């Protein structure tokens, strides 16, 4: 019987300028999101990238904040620029169906923006049944979902650059 240790993450190498990544986080569960943020920071630093961090109130606000960031890059005067985006948050199932609505709409909103814009996005929204599951996915090991989201975003940045889009 074999044991699965989690994904092996090689350092992402991207040609050209250091990638600029915007991390949009919903720190409602601050320790959980903080653990995932450390994974993002590590992966982006290993890739030689720059990281900017902004907070939103909760998971539901993640897609709108991403849309605002994308819109901000379209303004010619002093427009910020990011090569990619990482979104982090955590929703823990409770006794009501609020969990289902928040998770569905946050995921749907991010996917819609991803497909419509082709932006390089790493999505790290934990949708868990209890805090123990969240802790396991935000710890400093191979299961850190923040690190996975950062790697996904960086790989998308590399793909955009390869095809002349970034």
Which pLDDT does position 6 carry in this prediction?
63
92 is in an annotated binding site: yes
Residue 78 labeled ligand binder: no
Indicate if the pLDDT at residue 162 is higher than 60.
Answer: yes
Among the listed residues 132, 113, 131, 130, the one whose alpha carbon sits nearest the alpha carbon of residue 122: 113
Tell whether residue 59 is among the known ligand binding residues.
Answer: yes
Task: Report yes or no: 42 and 147 within 8 Å, Cβ to Cβ.
Answer: yes
Active-site choice (98, 101, 129, 143): 98
Contact 120, 86 (CB under 8 A): no
**So where are the chain's domains?**
20-162
Per-residue pLDDT at 2: 45
Known catalytic residue: 75? no
| Full-model pTM | 0.93
Higher-confidence residue: 108 or 12? 108
pLDDT digits over 108-147, tens only?
Answer: 999 999 999 999 999 999 999 999 999 999 999 999 999 9
Q: pLDDT of 28-40, one tens digit each?
A: 999 999 999 999 9
CB atoms within 10 A of CB 3: 4
Q: Which two tokens stand for residue 149?
A: 């989201």
Q: What is the pLDDT of residue 166?
A: 79
CATH superfamily of 20-162: Lumazine/riboflavin synthase (3.40.50.960)
Residue 96 marked as a ligand binder: yes
CA–CA gap between residue 75 and residue 77 (Å, rounded)? 6
What pLDDT is stored for residue 75 in this prediction?
86
Per the annotation, does 28 bind a ligand? yes
Which helix (H) or strand (E) segment is 120 a member of?
Answer: strand 120-128
Specify whether the CB–CB gap between 53 and 100 falls below 8 A.
Answer: no
| pLDDT for 148 beyond 80 | yes
Cα–Cα separations (whole angstroms), residue 20 to 9, 17, 37, 164: 20, 9, 15, 17
Please indicate whether residue 13 or residue 124 has the higher confidence score (pLDDT). Answer: 124
**Token couple for 90:** 């955590």
What Rg do the C-alpha atoms of the chain give, in angstroms? 16
Quick one: CA torsion of 57, 59, 60, 63, rounded to 10 degrees?
A: 100
What is the C-alpha end-to-end distance of the chain, expressed in Å?
Answer: 44
Query: Is the pLDDT assigned to residue 1 strictly greater than 50?
Result: no
User: In this predicted model, what pLDDT tens digit does every residue of 56-101 receive, in sequence order?
Assistant: 999 999 999 999 999 999 987 888 999 999 999 999 999 989 999 9
């Amino acid at each position: 019987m074999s044991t699965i240790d989690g994904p092996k993450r090689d350092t992402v190498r991207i040609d050209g300028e250091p990638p600029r990544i915007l991390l949009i986080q919903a720190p409602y569960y601050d320790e959980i999101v903080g653990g995932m943020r450390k994974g993002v920071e590590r992966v982006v630093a290993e890739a030689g990238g720059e990281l900017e961090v902004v907070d939103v109130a909760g998971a539901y606000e993640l897609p709108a904040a991403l849309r605002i960031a994308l819109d901000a890059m379209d303004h010619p005067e002093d427009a910020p620029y990011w090569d990619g985006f990482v979104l982090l948050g955590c929703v823990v199932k409770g006794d009501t169906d609020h969990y289902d609505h928040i998770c569905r709409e946050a995921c749907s909103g991010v996917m819609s923006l991803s497909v419509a814009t082709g932006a390089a996005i790493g999505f790290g929204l934990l949708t868990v049944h209890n805090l123990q599951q969240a802790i396991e996915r935000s710890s400093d090991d191979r299961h850190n979902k923040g690190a996975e989201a950062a790697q996904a975003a960086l790989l998308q940045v590399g793909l955009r650059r390869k095809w002349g889009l970034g």
